[in-house]
Amino acid sequence: MKLAATLSSIKPEMDQVERKIKEITSAEPSMISHTSSHLLEAGGKRIRPVFVLLASKFGAPMQKNVIEVAIALELIHMASLVHDDVIDRATIRRGKPTVNDLWDNGTAMFTGDFIFARAVELLQNLDEPRLHLVLSHTIHQLTLGEIEQLKDRYMIGQNLFRYFRRIKRKTALLIASSTELGAISSQCNDEEIKQLKRFGYYIGMAYQIIDDILDFTASEKELGKPVGSDLLNGHLTLPTILAIQKDEASLSSIEAYFKDPTAYNREQIIQTIQDIGSSSAIDEAYAWSDAYLDRALIALEKLPSHPIKKTLRKIAIYLGKRKY
Amino acid sequence: MKLAATLSSIKPEMDQVERKIKEITSAEPSMISHTSSHLLEAGGKRIRPVFVLLASKFGAPMQKNVIEVAIALELIHMASLVHDDVIDRATIRRGKPTVNDLWDNGTAMFTGDFIFARAVELLQNLDEPRLHLVLSHTIHQLTLGEIEQLKDRYMIGQNLFRYFRRIKRKTALLIASSTELGAISSQCNDEEIKQLKRFGYYIGMAYQIIDDILDFTASEKELGKPVGSDLLNGHLTLPTILAIQKDEASLSSIEAYFKDPTAYNREQIIQTIQDIGSSSAIDEAYAWSDAYLDRALIALEKLPSHPIKKTLRKIAIYLGKRKY
């Protein structure tokens, strides 16, 4: 689902975001234009631009930085996905072949670099220093998250702290930045900025946890990629961390798989993925995402009365219940 | 040779640049700290910071942005080298193992991303909008140059225009930005900024051409990597483009090699590399770099009288004659 399509209050701005992303990525030499257009067509929920635009509604209307910030955040997100897919040797994302699969790893690496550079270029036009501070901190943390994720691959002994710190850096901070920057660019006051940032942060944490749950519980068709991709790629996420605390069989199956992912019995690890997907670890993981969603709703309550609060509440609840 | 060590007029500032780069790269989680420190220790000529600092001497002394710009440009350069080495599967640079060789491609990709993000973070602190405009344009062009270089790999029919545009994007613009940004951050006037930028641009073009010549004529020890690496990696540079216009034997040898680099007779391509290195194409390529150096010196002459002009002239002449 394209979240944006359901949000009539920001439709004109979202159309502008889509158009400008298309412009930015297609006005370039043929190779980049192909890889970038391919990425663009592969779609995505555009959650970051949606949150920038919705948060901006709490402030002064028609502020010039808002659209640029929305586009830049989506580009940063796209760039990081392209690089992630290289690491995971992913062949499919959102039901379409990845750049590294259609072309090669080098092309994907430089496509990511290019898209990130365009984001930086957009950001340079912003005349509000606070936007720069937030963004540069977020980008810094995002790259640390990438490195951490790589380092933590195929590592069995990870605690919850490590997982939460990683998803904070990889996902939640970028979503927190979306609401925060939307608020800053539309001149919200400090309290509004603070609560919108918190809302984004908690939503981001919940969003990633649910993503990690769905990787076990949704179908390949719904996911647009194989079920259990995270575990197959050596990423230990919340459902697994919770499951192996109690389930010795899953623990030893994953240990064996991580020891030698190529040689290991594939049927057995697929079975482990199914076991985790139907275990109580899923309910526990949902309890974590619900706790984050609750905190997001509390932050929302602290915001002044505004029609957009209802929209944000709906999105929070929708994200909490989404099936893919 | 570390160029910086010979330049007493900017020694304190260069020490500061080195120290801050070290700080930036070592204050991070262990893995990044290892890969980045490794890069730092592998050294480099630090040409970009040197040019920022020297150009800044034409303006007002002790301007706060100068050091940040110098560091950021070196970080951007380092990040692009790390990604280049992934593409070329380079195992050695400056006589030391590359990040992709010591660790792996994924680590190298994310190390590049991280270093680039730190550069962006530094840049966000600059309060002069012109610095941002120049830098974002340069970064954009740099990533286009990367993509072009990848696309042009193993492609035999390249004209000079294509080569010059590529080295402009990959090298010359970053060096032009060094002198330009040094001048802007120290409040030089428009004419000074213009001539310093031109000086940097022409030096950058000459520098890359000479780099491409030395790849054929220097020894493995001098280069810190195998002789003829460019051609072996499928990159057609000026000496080759000029050589194959006249030398049928080299042309057909390279054609055969590019057709199947893995299966081709390695001795034959090594012989071709030697043939090009002792051919008249080398003199012709030097004529091109000399022409660019001359233009750099003309730009220098247009600058007002200043002791640093002598230093810049010396560097230009030194770079024109360098042997590695």
Dist CA B172 CA A141 (whole Å): 31
How confident is the model at residue A324, as a pLDDT? 60
Which residues of A are less than 8 Å from B144 in CB distance? 28-29, 32, 114
- Note which residues in 135-154 of chain B have CB less than 8 A from chain A: 135-137, 139-140, 142-144, 146-148, 150-151
The tokens describing A32, both together, are 């980049």
Select the residue of B121, B146, B151 nearest A136 (Cβ to Cβ).
B121
pLDDT lower than 70: segments of chain A: 1-6, 27-33, 41-43, 323-324
pLDDT band at B58; cut points 50, 70, 90 = very high
Say if the Cβ atoms of B133 and A147 lie within 8 Å.
Answer: no
Testing the interface with A: which of B85, B99, B143 to mutate, by most A Cβ within 10 A?
Answer: B143
Domains, chain A, in order of start with CATH, read 10-321 (1.10.600.10)
Say if the Cβ atoms of B146 and A28 lie within 8 Å.
Answer: no
The tokens describing A266, both together, are 């594939």
Does B27 lie at the interface with A, CB-CB under 8 angstroms? no
CB within 8 A of B126, min separation 6: which ones? B65, B68, B69, B132, B185
Q: Which residue of B has its CA nearest to A118?
A: B140
pLDDT tens for A269-320 read: 999 999 999 999 999 999 999 999 999 999 999 999 999 999 999 988 888 7
ipTM: 0.82
Listed in sequence order, the DSSP H helices in A157-219 are: 160-167, 173-185, 190-217
Q: How many CB pairs under 8 A join A and B?
A: 115
- Round the average pLDDT of chain B to a whole number and report it: 89
How confident is the model at residue B42, as a pLDDT? 66
Angle at A268 between CA A265 and CA A273, to 5 degrees: 130
Select the residue of B107, B124, B151 nearest A132 (Cβ to Cβ).
B124
The number of beta carbons lying within 10 Å of the beta carbon of residue B1 is 11
pLDDT tens for B192-243 read: 999 999 999 999 999 999 999 999 999 988 888 889 999 999 999 999 999 9
The residue type at B176: A
